[in-house]
Amino acid sequence: MIVVKVGGSLGIDYDAIAENVAELWQNGKKLILVHGGSAETNRIAEKLGKPPKFVTSPSGYTSRFTDKETMEIFEMVYCGKMNKGIVERLQKLNVNAVGLSGLDGRIFEGKHKDKVRSVENGKIKILRGDHTGKVEKINTHLINLLLDNGYLPVLTPPAASYKGVAINVDGDRAAAALAIALKADSLLLLSNVPGLLRTFPDESSLIKSIPAKEVESYLEFAKDRMKKKVLGAAEAVAGGVGRVIFADARSKNPLTKALAGEGTVVA
Amino acid sequence: MIVVKVGGSLGIDYDAIAENVAELWQNGKKLILVHGGSAETNRIAEKLGKPPKFVTSPSGYTSRFTDKETMEIFEMVYCGKMNKGIVERLQKLNVNAVGLSGLDGRIFEGKHKDKVRSVENGKIKILRGDHTGKVEKINTHLINLLLDNGYLPVLTPPAASYKGVAINVDGDRAAAALAIALKADSLLLLSNVPGLLRTFPDESSLIKSIPAKEVESYLEFAKDRMKKKVLGAAEAVAGGVGRVIFADARSKNPLTKALAGEGTVVA
């Protein structure tokens, strides 16, 4: 089993991903796709007059402040435009894809965090009304039902809280939790960089491999959204996933290349 | 089996629908929800600077002209905001809902119509680049898989063309095709009117019942979007569905009231 997470940053070639997924799937590989939609959500939110608001936690992690209206925009882009765009690409290639959010069948479940701590001008502020959380539970029943019947699941945040409320969760860490729950051999975290870079954004400084036990010590090299990928990788390998590969999704055959070890391999 | 189609017009009480669906579901009724999203799509399309364009066919049916950009907005609203909003309401009520479009698992399939005939200032024009069609095939396998495993399907357009392209289809007629394929006892078509009115918009002119064989002769009373409901009803009863009920979704317990015969009953 391979879990493939495709980010939502600019530059990602979704046509290339769909073609490569179709090729692997039609050759009998079991796989699941998880995707993001961050850049497009920002663009649509701006156009709708509700610009995105990001908060930085005291420990340096950045996340989207997701009030109710932002959640609706988030769902429009992630579950609507991005998810159905990927499903359509796969259906055109004769892959019987089924697109679902973490709300559907409660595939992704976790606690709802209503409050978030935000560092603003050096001071810590508490913001309320947030709809975020972290995936703590994967409901594998529905996923296995689909896989066992020949459907390829295409999954996206939001997740469901234990009370059924839509919550924004980090897609990389959701994919890590999914890979653990499904005992995946490989978790591919594809984005618009070649992998973890020692000196971002110098692509020649690519770190080619990271020993599983040392992942967290590499956090210092991770900038912004890459931090959560490194955290997700640490969680995945600690949870029994064979290997995690950070790789590039800006050119042809991104999955095949990543599976061949192109990128940063955590094992 | 009951197929419930909820329109996307203004005034519909989605909370009331979710509560009533949950009550029936938890009492052991097998049902499927199909929904629209027309009014909200118009609003979002306007805000995104891509106002909706409607075309009227020579035979008097109105439909949304759906170029590629419009399809993306359509998917954002129908598959994102509306679908996940309904799934979230049901999950909060402990109904394990699963929201899907017709693209997913090709639940709704039909021919892609690229050209549409439009009457403009009394002249017939041919418009190209349309992504529309009509549901001709229902893939019941995925729906039955969900129902048999305790998941309530929440379905929405678009459908998939036979080549896997997203196509805009009429939700009422899709629901009719679904009700036929699943051999449903009842098809409820809920909207923001009490049923078919003899003299629209006078709600006291409600037509309480229509004999199955005479449905098409009632087309003359149907205005605008109600026309497709009448067509859908004619198709459904001709296809073996026990009865079709046009009913109101603006107050509490809309399903229970419709099942008790409040509205226009076609049987």
Which of A10, A21, A11 lies closest to A258 in space, CA to CA? A21
In this predicted structure, the answer to whether residue A22 has a pLDDT above a threshold of 90 is yes
In this predicted structure, the answer to whether residue A143 has a pLDDT above a threshold of 90 is yes
User: What secondary structure does DSSP assign to A107-132, as a single string?
Assistant: -EEEEEE--EEEEETTEEEEE-S--E
Rounded to two decimals, the ipTM of the complex is 0.97
* Torsion angle defined by CA atoms of residues B82, B86, B92 and B93, in that order, rounded to the nearest 10 degrees: 170
User: What secondary structure does DSSP assign to B9-41, as a single string?
Assistant: STT--HHHHHHHHHHHHHTT--EEEEE--HHHH
Q: Report, in angstroms and rounded to the nearest whole number, the Rg of chain B calculated over CA atoms.
A: 17
For chain B, report the end-to-end CA distance as a whole number of angstroms: 16
What mean pLDDT do residues B223-243 have? Answer: 92
pLDDT tens for B113-122 read: 999 999 988 9
Q: Do B100 and A99 touch (CB under 8 A)?
A: yes
Determine the pLDDT at residue B192: 94
Determine the pLDDT at residue A191: 96
CA distance B52 to A48: 16
Percent of chain A with pLDDT over 70: 100
CB-side exposure of B229: number of CA atoms within 13 Å? 28
What is the least distance, in Å, from the CA of B218 to any CA of chain A?
37
A88, A149, A166: residue with CB nearest B88:
A166
pLDDT tens for A59-68 read: 888 889 999 9
Determine the pLDDT at residue B260: 98
pLDDT tens for A178-221 read: 999 999 999 999 999 999 999 999 999 999 999 999 998 999 99
Q: At what angle do helices A226-238 and A171-181 cross, to 10 degrees?
A: 10
Residue in the block written with tokens 């600690």: A238
Determine the pLDDT at residue A256: 98
For residue A248, which phi and psi values (nearest 5 degrees)? Answer: -90, 135
Helix (H, G, I), strand (E, B) or coil at B257: helix
Contacts of B100 in chain A (CB under 8 A): 98-100, 104
Among B33, B79, B141, most A C-beta atoms within 10 A, so best to mutate, is B79
Beta bridge partners of A186: A2, A243
Beta bridge partners of B111: B134
Is A57:A117 a contact under the CB 8 Å cutoff?
Answer: yes
Q: Do A76 and B72 touch (CB under 8 A)?
A: no
pLDDT tens for B44-83 read: 999 999 999 999 999 888 889 999 999 999 999 999 999 9
Contacts of A145 in chain B (CB under 8 A): 145, 149
CA distance A199 to A194: 13
B47, B88, B141: residue with CB nearest A103:
B88
CA distance A228 to A5: 13
Q: How do strand B108-113 and strand B159-161 relate by DSSP bridges?
A: parallel
CA distance B93 to A24: 39
CA distance A228 to A160: 20
For residue B239, which phi and psi values (nearest 5 degrees)? Answer: -90, 0
The phi-psi region of residue B253 (left if phi > 0; otherwise alpha if psi is between -120 and 50; otherwise beta) is left
In this predicted structure, the answer to whether residue A223 has a pLDDT above a threshold of 90 is no
Q: What is the DSSP letter of B250?
A: S
In this predicted structure, the answer to whether residue A224 has a pLDDT above a threshold of 90 is no
CA distance A197 to B58: 61
Q: What does the buried/exposed string (b/e) look like for A137-164 if buried means 16 or more CB atoms within 10 Å of the residue's CB?
A: bbbeebbebbbeeebbbbbbbbbbbeeb
CB-side exposure of B149: number of CA atoms within 13 Å? 16
CA distances from B73 to A55, A77, A104, B240 (A): 28, 9, 21, 35
Q: How many CB atoms lie within 10 A of CB A20?
A: 21
Q: What single-letter amino acid sits at A124? A: I
Q: Report the predicted TM-score, pTM, of the whole model to 2 decimal places.
A: 0.97
B79, B104, B145: residue with CB nearest A80:
B79
CA distance A25 to A18: 10
B85, B103, B151: residue with CB nearest A87:
B103
Residue A87, both tokens: 């499903």
Residue in the block written with tokens 């890590």: A176
Residue B21, both tokens: 């669906």
Binned at pLDDT 50, 70 and 90, residue B236 comes out as very high
* Torsion angle defined by CA atoms of residues A195, A196, A200 and A204, in that order, rounded to the nearest 10 degrees: -60
